[in-house]
Amino acid sequence: DSIVSAHREQTNLLAEEAYGDNFEVSFIMIHGQDTLMTTMLLYDQVKFFIDEYERIRKIEEHIGLQ
C-alpha cells in the first residue's frame, strides 16, 4: 500500500531528525508531507462514510425502507 509506505518513510525521517541527523527541508518535501497527511485523512473519512452507509442500509433493510 502506497500510503503505508509513504507514512513509513515519513516516520523514518522524523526518527532520523530526533536522533540528531539534520537534512534540508525543501518546499517539495513540505508539499509531499501535506499531500500525505491530506490523503491519510481523506482515506479515513471515506472509509468511515462507507461503513456508515452500509450500517444505515442494513438498518433500512431490516425495518423495510428499502
Residue found by looking up cell 507514512 in the block: 7
Q: Please provide the size of the chain in residues.
A: 66
Tell me the whole-structure pTM to 2 decimals.
0.75
- Report, as residue numbers or ranges, the catalytic residues: 31
pLDDT of 66 over the 90 cut: no
- The overall average pLDDT reported for the chain is 94
Check if the beta carbon of residue 6 is closer than 8 Å to that of residue 36: yes
Domain count, the chain: 1
Three-state DSSP class for residue 23:
coil
Give 17's contacts (C-beta < 8 A, 6+ positions apart).
23
Residue 65 has pLDDT above 90, yes or no: no
Q: In terms of residue numbers, what domain contains 32?
A: 2-63
All cell numbers assigned to 62: 431490516
Quickly state the pLDDT bin for 23 (edges 50, 70, 90): confident
* pLDDT for the residue numbered 1: 86
